[in-house]
Structure 1
Amino acid sequence: MSVWTDKTSNLLVDGEWHPGSGGRFETANPATEEVLGTAANATAADLDRAIAAARRAFDETGWSRDVDLRVRCLKQLGTALQEHAEELRELTIAEVGAPRFLTHGAQLDAPVADLAYFADLAAGYEWTRDLGVAEPMGMPSRRWTRREAVGVVGAITPWNFPHQINLAKLGPALAAGNTVVLKPAPDTPWCAAAVAEILLRETDIPPGVVNVVTSDDHALGAQLPSDERVDLVSFTGSTATGRAVMAAAAPGIKRTFLELGGKSAFVVLDDADLGAACGLAAFTVCTHAGQGCALTTRLLVPRERYDEAVEATAKALRGIGVGDPDEPGTVCGPLISARQRDRVEGYLALARDEGGEFVTGGARAERDRGFFVEPTLIAGLTNDARVAREEIFGPVLVILPHDGDDDAVRIANDSPYGLSGAVHGGDLERARAVAARLRTGTVGVNGGVWYGGDAPFGGYKQSGIGREMGVAGFEEYLETKLIAEPA
């Protein structure tokens, strides 16, 4: 794979590999701070050409109408990515700082495998449905519904799980018959470019159907929601940026899918195995250094066992520690950049100012290089504290006491977000009842895993609009047309 071996990557525009008109920018290893190589730096003109290519491919080719071609191409892409899995794995560990164990799941292998799900979904989907005959206003008519691709999709993605999020947009969008302009995050250009190179070389996807535009300009993606040639914007990132995407799309009444922030609660009931629950909460918040929007970052425990829970959670966090993401046993690797480390340290300072106690952690990890922060447990605060309400995106867990199921639900729901959550209890029916009252898009009960290609993912409230993955995620990329004829 030349992106990895040549230490450089380009733009994919209209079926060709381009150097980009803005020069090049560096991509670095967050565990060592060493420069890995360079990526093509796109300008607004490059993105304009990519949008034009996607528009032509949708309007002037048969891609949107040829289900068999789309199914074949998605299966080709999935197979090709699997064949390059080990190269992609090493690249992902190096560029993302992703722990090696996680690349066997949501950081690589799982989203690649999910492409087959979307291919099969398109192959068996009911694209037309006969509604039968009716007599509106006394005129017998036979009606059909027809599902059709929306058109050109502008996909804007973050750096934390680049393969999962890039492929969770590309898979269903392409299966539905759309063309795509993908603008990945500046921190992880190679992950997107490597997939683009494999797609270009090893699939029959026509020119212009997929365009991948890398840039060090975080603001370049704002061009997509404001461009009249783009029919839908699919954005994953912060809630603040999501608001800006909505505002830019509003003048054109452009469809938007938004998967945004989270401050999810891990609720421990009074009949739960406290040690096991607290251990799992610690593991979860440390996974990929806490850089996941759906990770549970508020731990709600029974007040009468609060001290015991604090001790058990702190012990688990100390046992996890930080490590080299290349090592199989590492759970908590580096943060993506110095900028992100500064952000997390800013919240640690805020926690101290708000009166929080660092039971463990609370500082940079003692390592010579890399953007590492210690797994941190903050006690002594209420749910009104900013560190209990705002997304930190680091290995930082706030522990809060609750006074029973009703109070736990109240605290969990007292958040501007509603992306994910977890409930642990000894009585399964009771735990399910609490889970049913949480206003979140996903909930794990007693360790249940909600992730999967067939499982819709998204949030309530300020955690987003719409669903990604599953049938619901596929249908985000479809329009509905009604056709009527005289009966």
Structure 2
Amino acid sequence: MTTDRSDIPETGSAAAGPDRKLLIDGELVGATGTYPSYNPATEALVGYAPDATVAEAHAAIAAARKAFDTGTWATDVEQRIHCLDQLHRALTDNLEELRELTIAEVGATLALTRAAQLEDPIGIVKYYADLLRTYSFTEDLGAVEYLKQQHRRWVEKEAAGVVSAIIAYNYPNQLALAKLAPALAAGCTVVLKAAPDTPLITLALGEIIKRHTDIPAGVVNILSSSRIDVGEAMTTHPEVDLITFTGSTAVGRQIMSAAGTGLKRVFLELGGKSAAIALDDADYPAVARYAAFAATLNAGQACALTTRLLVPRADHDAVVDLVAANMARVRHGDPRDRKTYMGPLISERQRDKVDGLVQRAVAAGARLVTGGEKVGPGYFYTPTLLAGVDPDSEIAQEEVFGPVLAVTPYDGDDDAVRIANHSAYGLSGAVFSADERRALAIARRVRTGTFSINGGNYFHPDAPFGGYKQSGIGREMGVAGLEEFLERKTLASILN
């Protein structure tokens, strides 16, 4: 594995040039230092990102504060619709450039860029532009009599203010636009921080905003940084009103604690350890296909994936064999190849973490059925299946964020629900049964924010996404996603 990258060539892609800039107060600017971004599939240098400091973070927050307090963005709905329409068109017009950069920097497969890695997120912008055309920012509560007078009451929904948005590396386009689009639709101003491992694709968004939209200066500011103190500044600055974060539960706890000092609004999209339950009347071949391909989607780097499979004890070994056969069909390799299903992990650090969890699981008694191998060049990890997994074990409780599926036997429906809920997380889940009413009854007992019945897909711009327990607070997308960025003001007047 390469450790000295000084002799690695750049990718040569114009889309991935080394001159990406920060967007602060309507201007594309550099920083004192830069840091490199590497292609996780080849380890080649993609380009350099500005390494923003706390000073740049403070400048971006000041710009967002000024734009919110002195501009018309928070009150002019038509302006917001116009600019979101422009942004949607610009993203669509620059689709192929963004696709090339997403594949190079994220390691996303070509197929995924046609869905959740790029094209679907662009649709989020259109969804919120269209929602603004019909959404009412006023709610009439009617009149009541008080002290022999009639009082008219209503609620006005106002922009929350300056938003600090911090995203993770696994789906940078989805995460950025699922925060940015509703925040802008609500009338907020935003400071968006790219994930340190995937800065260039998020900075490209800032360049598109600057060059192709009429979004006023300071309304959107985009930073990249390898420094921890920049994120800390964004979560503690007194001029920030709301924080939205996607990432690990551990970091989410830190952000919530830091934000508590200033009583800032926080909503968090955190980790998951979701379970797919195969009931005893399920179509096991269909379950096996779903389980194998769901657990390895985006190399397992997605918080909502079902990385636990619960099966009736009597059928455990038979289902494991079916899943193993399907995992053998998961083609991993060059993300640019149309036939590739699974790309690399984001970094050698992440791959080592995944491998350590797998090795400890085997040492603790799980059976390694297939996978568990590092493959290079690049940060590939073979699709991995563990059988006979104890529901109390580390591998059943900790988020792996790699292409690893843990199969656990259960005894009866109640036991399946118990095991599914036996987790600090509550983001997603799935159930399979020939009887949809039985499946729905199970779904309603599992404490998660999203759930799939017999393979149903809930993920869409109009559907709220988020979790219970330590999977987060609040919801992204849908009307609920817009309202996370709104404050409610109740007003009353006396009727003559």
Give 1:85's aligned residue.
Answer: 95
What is the deviation of 1:3? 7.0
Find the aligned partners of 1:205 and 1:430 in 2 and give their Cα distance.
50
Identify the match of residue 391 of structure 2 among 383, 386, 389.
Answer: 383
1:164 is aligned, of 148, 155, 174, to 174
* Partner AA of 2:70 in structure 1: E
Match of 2:297 among 287, 298, 311: 287
Post-superposition CA distance 1:175-231 (Å, at most 9, x none): 000000001111111110111101100000000000001011244212112111000
Distance in 2, matches of 1:123 and 1:151, equals 21
- Tell me by how many angstroms 1:354 deviates: 1.1
Q: Partner of 2:259 in structure 1?
A: 249
Q: TM-score, normalised by structure 2?
A: 0.96
Distance in 1 (alpha carbons) for counterparts of 2:282 and 2:441: 14
Matched-pair contact (CA < 8 Å) for 1:3–1:193 = no
- On the 8 A contact 2:354/2:400 being kept in 1, the answer is yes
Change (3 A) 1:84 1:436: same
Determine which of 379, 392, 407 is the counterpart of 1:371. Answer: 379
Give the aligned partner of residue 430 of structure 1: 438
SS at match of 2:447: coil
Alignment match of 2:343 (pick from 325, 330, 333): 333
- Write out per-residue CA displacement over residues 302-343 of structure 1, whole angstroms, 9 at most, x where no aligned residue: 111111011111111122142111111212110001111111
* Unaligned residue ranges in structure 2 (runs of 5+): 1-12
C-alpha distance 162-5 of structure 1, shift in aligned 2 (>3 A): closer
1:444 matches 2:452: yes
Q: Which residue of 2 is the match for residue 269 of structure 1?
A: 279
Residue 8 (str. 1) matches residue 16 (str. 2): no
Unaligned runs of 5+ in 1: none
Partner of 2:478: 470
Amino acid in structure 1 at the alignment position of 2:435? D
Deviations 1:388-418 (A, max 9, x none): 0000000000000111211111110110000
* Distance (Å, rounded) in 2 between the aligned partners of 1:6 and 1:283: 34
Contact residue 17 and residue 46 of structure 2 kept, 8 A? no
Partner-residue secondary structure (3-state), 2:374: coil
- Give the Cα–Cα distance (whole angstroms) in 2 for the partners of residues 446 and 429 of structure 1: 11
Tell me how far apart the structure 1 counterparts of residues 262 and 124 of structure 2 sit (CA, whole Å): 32
Q: 2:220 aligns with which of 195, 206, 210?
A: 210
2:4 is aligned to none
Give the secondary structure class of the aligned counterpart of 1:142: strand
Question: What is the CA distance between 1:301 and its match in structure 2?
Answer: 0.8
How many angstroms does 1:5 deviate by? 5.6
Aligned pair partner of 2:58 in 39, 48, 51: 48
Give the aligned residue type for 1:237.
G
Counterpart of 1:196? Answer: 206
Shift of 1:245: 0.5
Deviations along 1:440-459, one digit per CA (max 9) or x if unpaired, are 00001111001000000000
Instruction: State the AA in 2 paired with 1:98.
Output: A
The answer to whether the Cα contact below 8 Å between 1:185 and 1:218 also exists between their aligned partners in 2 is no
Q: How many residues align?
A: 483
Indicate conservation of the 8 Å contact 1:182/1:213, yes or no: yes
Counterpart contact for 2:366–2:390, Cα < 8 Å: no
> 1:409 aligned to 2:417?
yes
Question: How far apart, CA to CA, are the structure 2 residues paired with 1:101 and 1:319?
Answer: 16
The two structures, once aligned, show a CA RMSD in angstroms of 1.1
Task: Please state how far the C-alpha of 1:137 moved relative to its aligned partner.
Answer: 4.3
How far apart are the structure 2 equivalents of 1:412 and 1:20?
47
Residues in 2 aligned to 1:111 and 1:31: alpha-carbon distance in whole angstroms:
23
Amino acid at match of 1:74: L
CA contact (8 A) 2:388 2:409 kept: no
Bigger mean CA deviation after superposition, 262-271 or 355-364: 355-364
**1:303 and 2:341 correspond:** no
Give the aligned partner of residue 62 of structure 1: 72
- Of 123, 130, 136, the residue aligned with 1:126 is 136
Structure 2: how far apart are the matches of 1:483 and 1:449?
41
For residue 68 of structure 1, give the secondary structure of its aligned residue in structure 2: helix
TM-aligned CA deviation for residue 120 of structure 1: 1.3
The residue type equivalent to 2:433 in the other structure is: G
> What's 1:180 paired with?
190
State the Cα deviation string for residues 3-30 of structure 1 (Å, max 9, x = none).
7263321100000001113x11101100
Distance, in Å, in 1 between the alignment partners of 2:182 and 2:146 is 36
Q: Is the 8 A contact 2:16 2:200 kept in 1?
A: no
The one-letter code sitting in structure 2 at the alignment partner of 1:229 is E
Question: Which one of 423, 428, 441 corresponds to residue 420 of structure 1?
Answer: 428
In the alignment, is residue 356 of structure 1 matched against residue 404 of structure 2? no
Q: Identity over the aligned pairs, expressed in percent?
A: 54
Is 1:112 the counterpart of 2:138 in the alignment?
no
Structure 2 CA distance, aligned partners of 1:10 and 1:137?
61
Q: 1:455 maps to what in 2?
A: 463
Query: Within 2, Cα distance between the matches of 1:450 and 1:194?
Result: 29
Inter-partner Cα distance in structure 1 for 2:128 and 2:212: 19
Aligned to 2:379, the other structure's residue is in SS state coil
Give yes or no for contact 2:271–2:425 (8 Å, CA) kept in 1. Answer: yes
CA distance 1:481–1:11, shift in 2 (3 Å): same
Kindly provide the CA deviation profile for residues 75-108 of structure 1, in whole angstroms up to 9, marking residues without a partner as x.
1001100011111111101100011101111100
SS of residue in 2 equivalent to 1:36: strand
Per-residue deviation, 1:136: 3.1
